[in-house]
Amino acid sequence: MALTRFAASAAPEVRALAGQGAVALWPVGSTEQHGSHLVTGFDLASATAVCERAAVAASAQVVLLPGLAFGASDHWLELGATLSLRPATLLAVVLDVIRSAERSGFERLVAVNGHAGNIGVLTAALGDTTSSAIQVEVVSYWTLVDARRMADACLSDAGGVGHAGEVETSIALALEAGLAVNERLPAPPGRALVPGEPGGPPAGGIVRSPRPLLESPSGVYGDPSQARPELGELVLAEASSALARHLDRPGG
């Protein structure tokens, strides 16, 4: 179906779509340092791109909400070039947007996350919406890609998303939207991705926060020197296709 943007629609159209059962699709990102070679708005740009592709591919009616440009990024503040909300603030914002979408008549909202630091807050928000009339679902877009396929496609980062590493830099190159500072590519590697550690492939279910000043003062987790647009397109295509299929399933 054609993509409908909430912010580019007038109130009668939004109300009508909500009343017809349209899904509210909400990209959630951050504004934070991404090394020297990716723009600070990368996380929202990538999540929005997945949402846009999925909305067009889906058969369901979808209304794209304005993306949230600020996330829980306190761990990057020491490196500068970061605008962060404290987790409690972000939780309040997320719950207020959900409440507003419900009051606007939407019965289902899917939040598509582009920043790992938001995962805990978005998951916590689900606990506050169990008695709401609106059904809320949360997904980080990279988890929609088969982990084995991602690992096989990576040359250096073993399928870990990292931070401004091989995967994210590849997405920036695939989107060709000024997300990468091309004269700074290929960018040097940052902290190597380790299974179970920040940005690395999942392992054992243990989660800990990054410590960039100690681990990687460049702000990079992973190896962006191996980035290529083909890898980025694979991630975007598989994530958006999986999201479109999910949007078409009644009730999620």
| 3-state helix/strand/coil string of 223-239 | CHHHCCHHHHHHHHHHH
Write down the H helix ranges in the chain.
11-19, 42-57, 87-103, 119-127, 147-153, 166-175, 212-215, 229-248
Reported as a single tens digit per residue, the pLDDT across 153-179 is: 999 999 999 999 999 999 999 999 999
**Within-domain flag for 78:** yes
Q: Is the pLDDT of residue 3 over 80?
A: yes
Identify the CATH number of the domain in which residue 189 sits.
3.40.50.10310
Q: Is the pLDDT of residue 198 over 90?
A: no
For residue 205, how many other CB atoms are within 10 A of its CB? 6
Confidence of residue 250 (pLDDT cuts 50, 70, 90): confident
The whole-number pLDDT of residue 119 equals 96
- Token pair, residue 153, equals 């496609």
Q: Residues 123-135: what's their mean pLDDT?
A: 96
Distance separating the N- and C-terminal Cα atoms of the chain? 18
The whole-number pLDDT of residue 130 equals 92
Number of domains forming the structure of the chain: 1
The whole-number pLDDT of residue 202 equals 63
Reported as a single tens digit per residue, the pLDDT across 146-159 is: 999 999 999 999 99
The whole-number pLDDT of residue 173 equals 98
Confidence of residue 204 (pLDDT cuts 50, 70, 90): low
Q: Residues 180-204: what's their mean pLDDT?
A: 84
**Within-domain flag for 151:** yes
With 0-12 / 13-18 / 19 or more C-beta atoms within 10 angstroms meaning exposed / middle / buried, residue 145 is buried
**Within-domain flag for 158:** yes
**Within-domain flag for 110:** yes
Q: Residues 225-248: what's their mean pLDDT?
A: 98
The whole-number pLDDT of residue 203 equals 62
Q: Is the pLDDT of residue 252 over 80?
A: no
Chain Cα centroid distance, residue 10: 27
Task: Please list the residues that pair with 28 across neighbouring strands.
Answer: 68, 113
With 0-12 / 13-18 / 19 or more C-beta atoms within 10 angstroms meaning exposed / middle / buried, residue 45 is buried
**Within-domain flag for 126:** yes
Q: Is the pLDDT of residue 200 over 80?
A: no
The whole-number pLDDT of residue 209 equals 79
Instruction: Identify the residue whose tokens are 């699709």.
Output: 25
**Within-domain flag for 252:** no
Q: Is the pLDDT of residue 66 over 70?
A: yes
With 0-12 / 13-18 / 19 or more C-beta atoms within 10 angstroms meaning exposed / middle / buried, residue 76 is buried
Write down the mean pLDDT value for the chain. 95
Share of the chain above pLDDT 90, in %: 90
Name the residue range of residue 194's domain.
Answer: 4-247
Residue 158 to residues 47, 139, 166, 175, Cα–Cα distance (Å): 21, 21, 9, 22
**Within-domain flag for 156:** yes
The whole-number pLDDT of residue 205 equals 64
Reported as a single tens digit per residue, the pLDDT across 82-120 is: 999 999 999 999 999 999 999 999 999 999 999 999 999
